Amino acid sequence: MKRVLVTGVGGPAGQSLVHQLIEYGYQVVGTDIRPVDMPGVAVCRVPPASDPAFVETLRTLTVACRADLVIPTVSEELPVLAQETDWPAPIALAPRKGVLLANDKWLTWQRLNEQNVPVPRAMLPSHVQSDDHVAQTIGWPCIAKPRVGRGGRNVVLYQKTDFDELRALDDHFILQEFIPGVEYAPNVYIRRQGGSVVVPLRKTALKQGRIGNALSVVRDDSADVAALACAAARALELTGALDIDVRRRSDGIPVVLEVNARFGAHSAHAPEVLRALLDEITMQERGTSISPLILLAII
């Protein structure tokens, strides 16, 4: 394997992957919806995943650049690509069912809750009856975030005094109990034939202070966070690279906030995850020939 196509190279997850791949000696071709100047990488513009031309554009580029592996890093691309079964190169993508569950935070919550994986209390805006009802169901303050969205973007922390604003939200959002403790981003790789790599990263600064995307992280050795991340992956039937958000309750018990079925923005702090993917691909190349269809379904 020599050449890797990475999507969304203008974003944090894409940039983190590109730097690692170049350090490992791979040739990298990137895509983004905006012009991106990245030394050592040929970046091609593609339409957004919502555009009907997206799939064919990426497919054509995969062939034209002779990619040996495609790694999508854009959340919106994952459910679109999960529908494809005849890609011209292996795609580092989890099975379709898991991708669709992880793509919708309400479906994620329902599935994890059903499987007894610890999660915050949650509800949809249409369930809200009164401010007291919110207090009894999920508590104040609470979080509102898009059901389909990128990580911590557009997350809002609501107090009881903000009830009228919260009540105006529709069911494109999920309301979630605010968990006040330390937040983690365990980076995970679930091998298709069993076994896993888990690197718990502790978030040391968040974009919005108490909430939002992580501005900085450090490696951590929290075994309970690692075990919880693996339990969430199993419950969602996910394999491959995952970026999971976990927080501790006031009593120290960790709960899963959400699951991203892709590499995270801070994967450079957990290089074992990319190494696990590359090693698995290399082993497959040296063993029995496996079609792109099978790779798409099981990586």
pLDDT at position 289, please?
A: 39
Q: Are residues 213 and 142 in the same domain?
A: no
pLDDT at position 282, please?
A: 84
Sign of the C-alpha dihedral, residues 219, 223, 226, 228?
negative
Is 291 among the domain residues? Answer: no
Mean pLDDT of the chain: 91
234: domain CATH number is 3.30.470.20
Q: What is the pLDDT of residues 82-136, one digit of tens each?
A: 999 889 999 999 999 999 999 999 999 999 999 999 999 999 999 999 999 999 9
Banded pLDDT at 212 (limits 50, 70, 90): low
Is 278 among the domain residues? Answer: no
Q: Are residues 78 and 19 in the same domain?
A: yes
Q: What is the pLDDT of residues 134-150, one digit of tens each?
A: 999 999 999 999 999 87
pLDDT at position 206, please?
A: 78
Among 74, 91, 98, CA closest to 299: 91
161, 177, 193: which is the final residue of a domain? 177
Q: Are residues 104 and 211 in the same domain?
A: yes
> Residue 18 above 60 pLDDT?
yes
Return the beta strands (E) in the chain as ranges: 3-7, 27-32, 42-45, 69-71, 122-123, 142-146, 156-158, 173-177, 183-184, 187-190, 196-199, 201-206, 214-219, 240-248, 254-260
For residue 298 the two structure tokens come to 């099981």
**Count of domains for the chain:** 3
Q: Are residues 202 and 265 in the same domain?
A: yes
CB atoms inside a 10 Å sphere around CB 49: 20
> Residue 296 above 50 pLDDT?
no
Is 280 among the domain residues? Answer: no
Q: Kind of pairing, strands 69-71 and 3-7?
A: parallel
Residue 252 lies in domain: 99-118+180-269
Q: Are residues 114 and 126 in the same domain?
A: no
> Residue 292 above 60 pLDDT?
no
Q: Which residue has the tokens 């076994």?
A: 195
pLDDT at position 154, please?
A: 83
For residue 176 the two structure tokens come to 């979630």
Q: What is the pLDDT of residues 45-66, one digit of tens each?
A: 999 999 999 999 999 999 999 9
Q: Are residues 199 and 246 in the same domain?
A: yes
pLDDT at position 85, please?
A: 85
Average pLDDT over residues 247-268: 96
- Judging by beta carbons within 10 Å of its beta carbon (0-12, 13-18, 19+), is residue 286 exposed, middle or buried? exposed
For residue 256, the cross-strand partners are 246
Q: Are residues 262 and 207 in the same domain?
A: yes
Banded pLDDT at 194 (limits 50, 70, 90): confident
Q: Are residues 141 and 193 in the same domain?
A: no
Is 290 among the domain residues? Answer: no
Q: Are residues 190 and 251 in the same domain?
A: yes
- Judging by beta carbons within 10 Å of its beta carbon (0-12, 13-18, 19+), is residue 234 exposed, middle or buried? middle
Is 295 among the domain residues? Answer: no
Is 109 among the domain residues? Answer: yes
Sign of the C-alpha dihedral, residues 110, 127, 180, 154?
positive
**Omega before 141 within 30 of 0, i.e. cis:** yes
> Residue 172 above 90 pLDDT?
yes
Alpha carbons 213 and 93: distance in angstroms, whole number? 23
Average pLDDT over residues 1-26: 94
Answer yes or no: are the C-beta atoms of 91 and 70 closer than 8 Å: yes
Q: Are residues 230 and 114 in the same domain?
A: yes
20: domain CATH number is 3.40.50.20
Answer yes or no: are the C-beta atoms of 33 and 47 closer than 8 Å: yes
Three-state SS letters, 65-106: CCCCEEECCCCCHHHHHCCCCCCCCCECCCCHHHHHHHHCHH
CA distances to 73, 104, 105, 160, 262 from 265, in Å: 9, 19, 19, 32, 10
CB atoms inside a 10 Å sphere around CB 287: 8
Alpha carbons 91 and 238: distance in angstroms, whole number? 14
138: domain CATH number is 3.30.1490
pLDDT at position 110, please?
A: 98
Is 63 among the domain residues? Answer: yes
- In degrees, rounded to 5, the angle at the alpha carbon of residue 212 between the alpha carbons of residues 207 and 218 is 70
Alpha carbons 228 and 234: distance in angstroms, whole number? 10
Indicate the length of the chain as a whole number.
Answer: 299
Banded pLDDT at 209 (limits 50, 70, 90): low
Q: Are residues 209 and 232 in the same domain?
A: yes
177, 193, 222: which is the final residue of a domain? 177
Percent of the chain scored above 70 by pLDDT? Answer: 93
Q: Are residues 190 and 109 in the same domain?
A: yes
Is 274 among the domain residues? Answer: no
> Residue 250 above 90 pLDDT?
yes
Average pLDDT over residues 211-234: 92
SS3 label, residue 37: coil
